[in-house]
């Protein structure tokens, strides 16, 4: 299928998908509708059969664009995550860690650290940390709103900067279709320092945990927690807990370590680090760059599943039948993510290769006189809006990466990596504060707090980080210097957070004195 330039019509498929997602809140339906609308445009422009053509081309795109290694990895990861949960390893870790906790600050920091350690999947993060840390944080009067915030902020922001995760593999697959990077893995790695929202979010939550820099509605719920009101659900509904009571800390840590270690070794092997011919053996960095990350992740995940089998079944944590049943249950939890990936790949390929969307966007930028230096900040805003509206970061960067990367290459190639990172960063921001986001919902459920309370208490924190990130993308557009941009964003974040905290304290004191005066 050859590219057909259709001008402004080329942007309609993603626009249709966005509008439908806004009204229906159904990402899969919206993506499929956008694809069929786009293939209909292509069919008429290319003079093909208008009845059979749209459906035929749509499914050809879905099949041709599918990356089977990514899909297999997603399903295997879902299986591993579910097995670890059922084994009771996560709960055992929580019991072990609680022996060393002596203060409220330490309980929050441990929650943060655990969130950073569980970086392979955001669902696993959300579903595990609440169950593990809730008894500990309750003991030291940490509000459930604060717990939900820590859980949510160490989910997607960690996964999007972790090289060994389903997110890295998904981003790499979208990059592969653009052909902009020699290695999609190195392309993802290069974007990490530019992912301002993810990095600043982690700095922010660590500051809040260590220095108690609460502000906005969160300060109110923390004050209530000190009095014993943790603000849980009115009828507290715990997550379904079918975990084994025989699990140990090793049941969680060993499979994850095996996944990471085997994946890295597999990347080196696939990349030629141990090549048969010494003349063609590559050095460490070159081998990683020459590797196929998704293939290595599949090998690592399979190794982790085999290790889990020999850890769980002989010790009667679960029977072999239960082990296989849990694998199926875990895989089924990834069906929605896999479908989003398939449709996002297809709509990205439709826009970038069939309808000539990058060329049209380039013409618009040039005719409008928009300087390339504003590209990262504009992309950040666009990605944030789309992600907030749809509640999914995967669907957002699946739509935008195939468009943004070619456009950045044409308009301002020196800001290619920054533009890619702005896409990922904006996607995470929108997903982080969207009330219909799956991770937002899972975080409030895991912490057993009212969902609206979690959204309203987290929103000021997310907006603060997003504002500082936007300033960073503006600066990098002018300077093209990552150190100046990131350093400026971090310093601005520190100043803003301390100011908001002091303002919140001052406001609370005024309200207190006002109440005292009314009583007298």
pLDDT at 506: 77
Does residue 328 sit within a domain?
A: yes
How high is the mean pLDDT of the chain? 82
DSSP state of 370: -
Instruction: At 258, give phi and psi (nearest 5°).
Output: -60, -45
How many angstroms separate the CA atoms of 350 and 402, rounded? 9
pLDDT over 70, % of the chain: 85
pLDDT > 70? residue 13: yes
> pLDDT grade, residue 239 (50/70/90)?
very low
How many angstroms separate the CA atoms of 336 and 516, rounded? 54
Among candidates 292, 273, 396, 280, which has minimal Cα distance to 73? 292
Region 492-505: mean pLDDT is: 89
Does residue 274 sit within a domain?
A: yes
Does residue 349 sit within a domain?
A: yes
pLDDT > 50? residue 358: yes
Does residue 239 sit within a domain?
A: no
- Identify the residue with better confidence: 56 or 446: 56
- Identify the residue with better confidence: 474 or 175: 474
pLDDT at 510: 66
> pLDDT grade, residue 279 (50/70/90)?
low
How many angstroms separate the CA atoms of 135 and 367, rounded? 59
Region 183-201: mean pLDDT is: 90
Claim: this prediction has a pTM higher than 0.85: no
pLDDT > 80? residue 245: no
pLDDT at 233: 57
pLDDT > 80? residue 39: yes
Does residue 238 sit within a domain?
A: no
Q: Which string of b and e fits 104-131 if b means at least 16 CB within 10 Å?
A: beebbbbbbebbbbbbbbbbbbbbbbbb
Joined together, the tokens standing for residue 20 give: 């439908």
Region 491-499: mean pLDDT is: 93
Cβ partners under 8 Å of residue 448, min gap 6: 130, 134, 144, 232, 233, 236, 237, 238
- Identify the residue with better confidence: 518 or 174: 174
How many angstroms separate the CA atoms of 297 and 341, rounded? 17
Region 4-24: mean pLDDT is: 79
Q: At what angle do helices 451-479 and 144-153 cross, to 10 degrees?
A: 40
Domain tally, the chain: 1
pLDDT at 171: 83
Q: Which string of b and e fits 188-220 if b means at least 16 CB within 10 Å?
A: bbbbbbbbbbbbbbbbbbbbbbeeebbbbbbbb
Residue-by-residue DSSP string for 470-507 = HHHHHHHHHH--HHHHHHHHHHHHHHHHHHHHHHHHHH
Does residue 188 sit within a domain?
A: yes
Among candidates 423, 428, 377, 418, which has minimal Cα distance to 400? 423
Lowest-pLDDT range of 61-65, 135-139, 289-293: 289-293
pLDDT at 243: 63
pLDDT at 159: 84
pLDDT at 246: 77
Does residue 1 sit within a domain?
A: no
Does residue 242 sit within a domain?
A: no
pLDDT at 115: 85
pLDDT at 238: 44
Region 405-431: mean pLDDT is: 89
Among candidates 340, 412, 344, 364, which has minimal Cα distance to 11? 364
pLDDT over 90, % of the chain: 23
Joined together, the tokens standing for residue 190 give: 């290069």
User: Is the Cα torsion angle 140, 146, 150, 152 positive or negative in sign?
Assistant: positive
Q: Which string of b and e fits 261-297 if b means at least 16 CB within 10 Å?
A: ebbbbbbbbbbbbeeeeeeeebeeeebbbbbbbbbbb
Q: Which residue has 């609206």 as its token pair?
A: 452
- Identify the residue with better confidence: 365 or 297: 297
How many angstroms separate the CA atoms of 253 and 120, rounded? 12
pLDDT at 147: 92
Highest mean pLDDT among 56-65, 124-133, 281-290: 56-65
Half-sphere CA count of 107, side-chain side, radius 13 A: 22
pLDDT at 288: 63
How many angstroms separate the CA atoms of 362 and 301, rounded? 41
pLDDT > 60? residue 512: no
Region 361-374: mean pLDDT is: 70
Lowest-pLDDT range of 260-274, 282-296, 317-331: 282-296
Joined together, the tokens standing for residue 352 give: 């970038």
pLDDT at 334: 79
Highest mean pLDDT among 222-236, 298-312, 447-461: 298-312
Domain residues for the domain of 381 are 7-231+248-519
Lowest-pLDDT range of 76-90, 256-270, 277-291: 277-291
Region 232-254: mean pLDDT is: 65
- Identify the residue with better confidence: 241 or 98: 98
How many angstroms separate the CA atoms of 93 and 473, rounded? 39
> With left for phi above 0 and alpha for psi between -120 and 50, is residue 48 left, alpha or beta?
beta
pLDDT at 476: 94
């Amino acid at each position: 299928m050859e590219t057909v330039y259709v001008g402004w019509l080329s942007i309609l498929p993603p626009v249709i998908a966005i509008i439908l997602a806004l009204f229906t809140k159904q990402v899969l339906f919206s993506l499929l509708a956008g694809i069929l609308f786009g293939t209909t445009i292509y069919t008429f422009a290319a003079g093909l059969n208008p009845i059979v053509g749209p459906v035929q081309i749509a499914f050809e795109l879905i099949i041709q664009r599918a990356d089977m290694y990514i899909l297999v990895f997603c399903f295997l990861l879902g299986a591993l995550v579910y097995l670890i949960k059922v084994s009771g390893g996560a709960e055992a870790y929580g019991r072990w860690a609680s022996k060393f906790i002596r203060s409220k600050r330490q309980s929050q920091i441990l929650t943060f650290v655990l969130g950073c350690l569980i970086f392979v999947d955001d669902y696993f993060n959300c579903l595990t940390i609440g169950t593990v840390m809730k008894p500990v944080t309750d003991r030291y009067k940490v509000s459930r709103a604060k717990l939900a915030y820590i859980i949510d902020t160490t989910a997607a922001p960690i996964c999007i900067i972790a090289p060994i995760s389903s997110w890295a593999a998904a981003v790499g697959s979208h990059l592969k279709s653009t052909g902009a990077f020699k290695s999609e893995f190195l392309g993802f790695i290069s974007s990490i320092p530019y992912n301002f929202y993810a990095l600043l979010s982690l700095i922010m939550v660590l500051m809040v945990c260590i220095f108690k820099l609460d502000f906005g509605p969160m300060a109110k719920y923390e004050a209530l927690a000190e009095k014993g009101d943790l603000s849980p659900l009115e009828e507290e509904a715990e997550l379904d807990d079918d975990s084994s009571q025989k699990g140990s800390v090793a049941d969680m840590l060993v499979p994850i370590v095996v996944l990471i270690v085997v994946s890295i070794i597999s990347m080196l092997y696939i990349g030629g680090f141990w090549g048969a011919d010494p003349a063609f053996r590559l050095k460490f960095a070159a081998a990683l760059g020459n590797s196929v990350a998704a293939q290595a992740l599949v090998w690592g995940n399979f190794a982790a599943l085999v290790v889990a089998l020999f850890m769980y079944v002989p010790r009667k944590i679960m029977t072999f039948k239960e082990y296989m049943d849990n694998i199926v249950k875990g895989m089924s939890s990834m069906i929605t993510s896999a479908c989003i990936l398939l449709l996002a790949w297809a709509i990205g390929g439709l826009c970038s290769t069939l309808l000539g969307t990058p060329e049209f966007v380039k013409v618009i930028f040039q005719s409008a006189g928009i300087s390339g230096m504003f590209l990262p900040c504009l992309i950040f805003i666009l990605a944030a809006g789309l992600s907030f509206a749809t509640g999914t970061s995967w669907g957002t960067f699946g739509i935008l990466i195939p468009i943004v990367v070619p456009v950045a290459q044409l308009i301002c190639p020196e800001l290619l990596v920054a533009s890619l990172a702005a896409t990922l960063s904006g996607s995470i921001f929108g997903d982080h504060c969207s009330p219909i986001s799956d991770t937002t919902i899972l975080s409030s459920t895991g912490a057993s707090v009212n969902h609206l309370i979690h959204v309203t208490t987290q929103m000021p924190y997310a907006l603060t980080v997003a504002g500082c990130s936007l300033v960073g993308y503006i600066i990098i557009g002018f300077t093209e210097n990552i150190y100046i941009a990131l350093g400026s964003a971090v310093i601005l974040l520190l100043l803003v957070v301390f100011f908001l905290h002091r303002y919140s304290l001052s406001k609370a004191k005024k309200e207190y004195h006002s109440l005292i005066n009314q009583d007298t």
